Amino acid sequence: MSFQTPSGIAAKTAATGLDGPSFSSSGASVRPSLSIHLPLVAVYSERAISRAGLAALLRAQMLDVALPEEEDELVGVHPDVILLAGFAPERGLATRLARRHGAPTLMMVDGPLGAESFEQLGVHGAVCRECPPERLITGLHAVATGATFFECHTHPSAPTPTDSLLSPRERRVTAELARGAGVEEIATALCISPHTARTHVRNVRRKLDARTSAEAVAQALMLGLVALPAG
């Protein structure tokens, strides 16, 4: 029977790349720390409330978020992926931002576009505004790792349990909030009094357990109750 010397064991460990447990000065075992990298998403949207809602949605899904408009155009920060939401498809916009930040771009669009259209826009991925949040998160992860993501399937028309969470009028109010409308604008759009509009906004926040309108929009987006407004 042969035995390995301590130096032989150390050499074998180094060769296999497997480190054994380390020990502190007191002799207690110390586990090596694991480094988890969360993709950093730079969110561009023309509407402030949409930016805030998307930021809250992404952070709830364990993604880091940077808002260029609030952080001096991300000086010293290098995002892993850029999300463009609420912009009309514009040739060159994604390319300019990709060059500025050194990161690929995923665009949220009104509806499915052909592969050639995406190639002309210079984006690396796209999802529809009405896609479920899970597809947006999957797309961001994919694009952040260097892959492409162009998936937008037919959305089911069957009602889901969350459909009854808000009344039709409350969903309309939430959609107006997502567009950046204030109480007076909501009242005008729905032909109701400002007092009634304010009551609907309070009810929406209460039902979605949200402290602010931006948080309510984020929850509504996450639950699929409203879609992100078009640019």
**Phi/psi of residue 74, nearest 5 degrees:** 60, 40
pLDDT band at 126 (very low <50, low <70, confident <90, very high): confident
User: Structure tokens of 45?
Assistant: 């949207």
Mean pLDDT of 23-43: 62
User: Structure tokens of 145?
Assistant: 């790792």
Q: What is the pLDDT of residues 4-18, one digit of tens each?
A: 444 444 444 444 444
Mean pLDDT of 184-204: 91
Report CA torsion sign: 191, 159, 162, 110: negative
Report yes or no: 118 and 139 within 8 Å, Cβ to Cβ.
no
- State the virtual CA torsion across 204, 207, 213, 218 in degrees, nearest 10: -120
* CATH code of the domain occupying 161-223: 1.10.10.10
Mean pLDDT of 87-92: 70
- The closest alpha carbon to 221, from 104, 90, 127, 153, belongs to 127
> Which of 67-71, 75-79, 115-119, 142-146 reaches the highest mean pLDDT?
142-146
pLDDT band at 169 (very low <50, low <70, confident <90, very high): confident
- Predicted pLDDT of residue 152: 66
Would the pLDDT of 76 be above 80?
Answer: no
Where are the domains positioned within the chain? 40-150, 161-223
- Predicted pLDDT of residue 71: 47
Report CA torsion sign: 216, 81, 115, 151: negative
Cα 165 off chain centre by? 23
- Predicted pLDDT of residue 230: 57
More confident residue, 47 or 230: 47
Q: What is the pLDDT of residues 56-71, one digit of tens each?
A: 888 888 888 988 765 4
**What percent of the chain clears pLDDT 90, i.e. is strictly above it?**
13
Would the pLDDT of 158 be above 60?
Answer: no
CATH architecture of 40-150: 3-Layer(aba) Sandwich (3.40)
- Predicted pLDDT of residue 8: 47
The structure's pTM equals 0.56
- Mean pLDDT (the chain, rounded): 75
Would the pLDDT of 37 be above 90?
Answer: no
Q: Which of 13-27, 86-100, 155-169, 187-201 has the lowest mean pLDDT?
A: 13-27
Write the CA distances from 74 to 34, 45, 141, 156, 212, integer angstroms: 27, 15, 20, 38, 26
- The closest alpha carbon to 42, from 50, 33, 51, belongs to 51
Mean pLDDT of 155-169: 60
Report yes or no: 132 and 195 within 8 Å, Cβ to Cβ.
no
Would the pLDDT of 34 be above 80?
Answer: no
